[in-house]
Amino acid sequence: MSSADHADREERVDELTIDELARVTGMTVRNLRAHHQRGLLAPPILRGRTGFYGPEHVERVRLIQQMQAAGFNLKAIARLVEAGDGAGHEALEFGRAVLDSMTEEAPEVATADDVEERLGGPLDRKTARRAERLGLIRPVGDGTFELPNPTLARAGEELIAMGVPVTRALGVGEKVERHTRAIAEAFVELFAEDIMGDKKASELSAAEWNRLRVAMDRLSPLARAVVDAVFRQAMSAAVERAVQDSLHR
Q: Provide the edge-to-edge strand list for the sheet that holds 138-141.
A: 108-111, 144-147, 138-141
- 110, containing H or E segment: strand 108-111
Is position 10 within any domain? no
Tens of pLDDT along 171-190?
999 999 999 989 988 888 88
Is position 158 within any domain? yes
* Domain span including residue 138: 108-247
pTM: 0.57
pLDDT band at 122 (very low <50, low <70, confident <90, very high): confident
DSSP symbol at 35: H
Q: Is pLDDT at 1 greater than 50 in this prediction?
A: no
How many domains in the chain?
1
Tens of pLDDT along 4-25?
444 443 334 468 999 999 999 9
Kindly list the distances between the CA atom of residue 76 and the CA atoms of 28, 58, 88, 94, 199, in Å, as whole numbers in the listed order. Answer: 21, 20, 9, 15, 13
When the pLDDT of each residue in the chain is averaged and rounded to a whole number, the result is 82
Work out the average pLDDT over 15-42.
90
Residue 17's identity, in one-letter code, is T
